[in-house]
Amino acid sequence: MNALLTSSQRQLVRVISESGPLSRTEMANLLGLSKAAMSGIARELIDLGVLHETETVYGQGRPSVRLDLHPECAFFVGISLLEDPAPMILSDLNGKIIARQAMPLSRDPQVIAQAITEGLPRLLEAHPQAKEKLSGIGVALSGFVDETQSNCVQSTLLGWQDVPLAKIIRECSGVETFIENDAKAVAVSEKLFGSAREIQSFSVVSLGDGIGCAHFIDGKLYRGNHGGAGEIAHCTIEPGGSPCRCGKRGCLDTVSSMKAIKEVSRAEGLECTSLSEIEHEASTGNAAAIRILHRAGSALGLAIANLIQMNDPGMILITHVEGSFDGLFGTVVNQAIETNVLPRYAGQTPIRVKRVDGDVWARGAASIAAHNFLIGPNSN
Amino acid sequence: MNALLTSSQRQLVRVISESGPLSRTEMANLLGLSKAAMSGIARELIDLGVLHETETVYGQGRPSVRLDLHPECAFFVGISLLEDPAPMILSDLNGKIIARQAMPLSRDPQVIAQAITEGLPRLLEAHPQAKEKLSGIGVALSGFVDETQSNCVQSTLLGWQDVPLAKIIRECSGVETFIENDAKAVAVSEKLFGSAREIQSFSVVSLGDGIGCAHFIDGKLYRGNHGGAGEIAHCTIEPGGSPCRCGKRGCLDTVSSMKAIKEVSRAEGLECTSLSEIEHEASTGNAAAIRILHRAGSALGLAIANLIQMNDPGMILITHVEGSFDGLFGTVVNQAIETNVLPRYAGQTPIRVKRVDGDVWARGAASIAAHNFLIGPNSN
DNA sequence: TTGATTTGTTCATTTTCTGAACTTAGTGTC
DNA sequence: GACACTAAGTTCAGAAAATGAACAAATCAA
């Protein structure tokens, strides 16, 4: 099932992946191909089991038959190295999670590869066809990943420097493997499976202990010249502010990350260990809690507003790990975005919020493998 | 000469435009084509007069012959509507200015079209072959231009709203015409003719009475979802700062644009009408001048640093109209960039500075027409 | 039932690319 | 200077991919 698709086949798969089920004629028009060519390519993909006919649409003339990706034409395993135990899921081509389990996290790549290899049979146990049609493994981690999606250039969390993790897992498990940064993996997942399917340019801002960010530009994940695109966490947001672990001062990370919020709370004498608790304190009128959330929310909103000004994305997706986003913090973020965006564009950029858990990261990881199956590695 | 090139021909033209003269074999490898296919396509383009053989490179085996774009295979007219009188130039495919003149500026699109139509014969007078091979007209203006490069969506300077300028000029002059925003035109010009030929992702920050910005991302001009990418001027840089004409407060525009610098100088009682004079005052120790330049420079530097953090471009090109960039202002800008970029990436992003005059804008305008000749309108 | 209408298929033809053999124009060695 | 060696570029038959036009199929509308 690793069969490489021809470039026309991939174009077709891509357009369906973006727009959902389409008739042959619609696709021919979208791709600028003749009906004759479309007919042939569609036939090939149906024979390969990648596409299948879905509903029939009646209008004037002969009804059209919509083609869609066959969700069970390929399966993917996704693993998130963001928590311990590490979630490990099996997903189909719709991003639906078919099976899940967990594996112990390690800092030793070899041990990780071993754990994955041992976990695979159990994950696939009850799904014989997934076993047969397993297309690849995706791994999401916190850190920098090179553009081949094979090497982890640097990860503070895992203590890595130039680790060829994909190769190690591939050799150990015998399955094609790709790795990706966590925020970028979620962005790909949203593009393939989620709310960004039809949006060509959007950004994901992922809020957790740290702050991550990824950009899709003109339908492609944009990594930047040195792989550093999306380093919103170290945008200076409070010039001359608190020192950051990166070496400079006033980074967004020092103000708006969950870690920073909790640290500041502790320093201010609040007995809170989670965002929800701080939110609760704020709702009861605790001035310190209100101040902290205001400061963090304004900073994040300002950074996002600047991102909108710079790049004019078609959507911003804010993912957050803890608590909810409908308290004071979320309100302030949204307000700050509105007040710092050109009035002309205010409200023009949809801001979506999504609470994520381990499954979302793992699904994001799986989507990296799915992307390689659908679009190909040279993201062309 | 408006003959549409086939898609393979355009690919080839594009790769030469990016990398300079290449041998057939090198291009075949770069494009993933067979030597046989390359041979044919190169022959076609040579026969069309688009390519020509240049130097011969000796090594082991048969020497290779580099092919390059024939600079005189097409000519372009570029007009800048940024000043009065408006510069109008004739350029070849290398961006070399062959002839120049000026025309009166107007706010009436019809009058502009008329002036261009009347100016054309004079511009082409001494260049019969340019007359024959004139491929298109490009117009640079301050304002928003839609993605078809035909309509000016909005221009404060010209007082326009949804003006189909390209169509008007095309119909009046009979020559294919494209329009573009000034900063974007300079970005295209740098990509085609200038220092960014081989850089896939870079940003231009243009410093004048206002502040403009344009991004090239993965080899393509990126316009953003609503055509608003690059609105760095209205990034909030001093939260709660001075009101901006856009309606919000503390925009970069209110601090670092030439207009703002001059206004603040006047308000502070400095008798200066140009940046050079303020620089001179600063160099003699005038505290107000030093303060103004520091504030403006830090703000611009911070904005550029944030841009680097967000997008990790391969180069930043700062263009400025007045004075020089090696005084206090430029120094502060560079310092502010350095201190606000992740230490890991500090110094990794080349910052280039270029002083521009009317010719540069007009050449940028011409490059829009050249881009449409070389790469095609659907910038694919 | 008939005609209009639009989808999708078939097939001969054209266009585009490939693989392999070949020609060409040099360098290096004895 | 003759000879092998090397790599660039060409040629040409054949494969692959796309097209255009004719046609078959499936419905609605009258």
- pLDDT attached to residue B376: 77
C-beta pairs of A83-91 under 8 Å, 24+ apart in sequence: A83/A358, A86/A115, A87/A358, A87/A359, A87/A361, A87/A362, A88/A116, A88/A119, A88/A123, A88/A362, A89/A123, A89/A359, A89/A362, A89/A363, A89/A366, A90/A123, A90/A124, A90/A127, A90/A130, A90/A366, A91/A363, A91/A366, A91/A367, A91/A370
| Residue numbers in A near B350 (CB within 8 A) | none
| Residue numbers in A near B348 (CB within 8 A) | 226
Cβ of residue B248 closer than 8 Å to a chain A Cβ: yes
Determine what percent of chain A is predicted with pLDDT higher than 70: 98
- pLDDT attached to residue A3: 56
Please give the average per-residue pLDDT across B191-196, as a whole number. Answer: 94
| Residue numbers in A near B220 (CB within 8 A) | 218
- pLDDT attached to residue B346: 85
Q: What tokens does A109 get?
A: 């790549």
Amino acid at residue number B229: A
Closest partner residue to B340 (CB to CB) among A248, A313, A349 is A248
Cβ of residue A230 closer than 8 Å to a chain B Cβ: yes
Rounded to 5 degrees, what angle do the CA atoms A300, B307, A320 make? 30
Q: Cβ of A312 and B228 within 8 Å?
A: yes
Q: Cβ of A225 and B307 within 8 Å?
A: no
- pLDDT attached to residue B322: 79
Please give the average per-residue pLDDT across A97-110, as a whole number. Answer: 96
Q: What tokens does A32 get?
A: 């600028």
Instruction: Judge whether A311 and A262 are in contact, CB under 8 Å.
Output: no
* Nucleic strand D under 7 Å from the C-beta of A56: yes
* A320 has pLDDT over 90: yes
The conformation of residue B75, written as its DSSP 8-state character, comes to E
* Nucleic strand C under 7 Å from the C-beta of A65: yes
pLDDT bin (cut points 50, 70, 90) of residue B230 is very high
| Residue numbers in B near A343 (CB within 8 A) | 246-248
Strand D neighbours among B 37-66, CB < 7 A: 38-40, 42-43, 59-65
Q: Cβ of A342 and B239 within 8 Å?
A: no
* A16-54 pLDDT per residue, tens: 999 999 999 999 999 999 999 999 999 999 999 999 999
- pLDDT attached to residue A344: 84
Pairing of strands A134-141, A177-181: parallel
Q: Cβ of A246 and B344 within 8 Å?
A: yes
- What's the CA–C1' distance between B1 and C1, in Å? 57
**Out of A154-163, A355-364, B302-311, B368-377, which region has the weakest mean confidence (pLDDT)?**
B368-377
CATH topology of domain B200-314+322-355: Nucleotidyltransferase; domain 5 (3.30.420)
Please give the average per-residue pLDDT across B3-8, as a whole number. Answer: 82
Please give the average per-residue pLDDT across B146-151, as a whole number. Answer: 94
List the single best residue of A161, A181, A234 to mutate versus B (max B Cβ within 10 A): A234
| Residue numbers in B near A229 (CB within 8 A) | 310-312
Cβ of residue B347 closer than 8 Å to a chain A Cβ: no
* A2 has pLDDT over 60: no
Positive or negative torsion for Cα A113, A117, A118, A122: positive
* A1 has pLDDT over 80: no
Closest partner residue to A225 (CB to CB) among B220, B313, B344 is B313
Closest partner residue to B305 (CB to CB) among A218, A227, A236 is A236
The conformation of residue A251, written as its DSSP 8-state character, comes to B
- What's the CA–C1' distance between A38 and D15, in Å? 20
Determine what percent of chain B is predicted with pLDDT higher than 70: 98
* A112-166 pLDDT per residue, tens: 999 999 999 999 999 999 999 999 999 999 999 999 999 999 999 999 999 999 9
The residue of chain A with its CA nearest to that of B230 is A310
Per the structure, the residue whose CA is closest to nucleotide C4 at C1' is A61
- Neighbour-count burial of B164, counting CB atoms closer than 10 A to its CB (0-12 exposed, 13-18 middle, 19+ buried): middle
- pLDDT attached to residue B378: 62
* Nucleic strand C under 7 Å from the C-beta of B311: no
- pLDDT attached to residue B345: 83
CATH architecture of B74-189+359-374: 2-Layer Sandwich (3.30)
Q: Cβ of B231 and A349 within 8 Å?
A: no
Closest partner residue to B310 (CB to CB) among A218, A307, A349 is A307
CATH number listed for the domain at residues A75-189+359-374 = 3.30.420.40
- What's the CA–C1' distance between B13 and D9, in Å? 19
- pLDDT attached to residue A271: 85
- What's the CA–C1' distance between A94 and D24, in Å? 35
* Nucleic strand D under 7 Å from the C-beta of A32: yes
Determine what percent of chain A is predicted with pLDDT higher than 90: 91
- pLDDT attached to residue B48: 93
* A347 has pLDDT over 60: yes
Question: What Cα–Cα distance (Å) separates residue B169 from each residue in A189, B120, B136, B165?
Answer: 46, 12, 11, 6
CA-closest candidate to residue B241, choices B254, B258, B231, B257: B254
Establish whether domains A7-69 and A75-189+359-374 are of one fold: no
Q: Which residues pair with B222 in a beta bridge?
A: B215
Task: Scan residues 262-321 of B and list those with Cβ closer than 8 Å to A.
Answer: 298, 302, 305-307, 309-314
- The matching CATH number, chosen from 1.10.10.10, 3.90.1170.40, 3.30.70.60, 3.40.1690.10, for B7-69 is 1.10.10.10
* Nucleic strand C under 7 Å from the C-beta of A40: yes
CA A330 to chain centre: 21
Nucleotides of strand C within 7 Å of the protein's CB atoms: 4-12, 16-21, 24-28
Closest partner residue to B234 (CB to CB) among A234, A246, A342 is A342
* A279 has pLDDT over 80: yes
* A216-229 pLDDT per residue, tens: 999 999 999 988 99
Distance spanning both ends of chain A, measured CA to CA = 20
More confident residue, B2 or B308: B308
Please give the average per-residue pLDDT across B82-91, as a whole number. Answer: 96
Query: Where are the domains positioned within chain A?
Result: 7-69, 75-189+359-374, 200-314+322-355
* A166–chain B nearest CA distance, Å: 25
pLDDT bin (cut points 50, 70, 90) of residue B2 is very low
* B363 has pLDDT over 90: yes
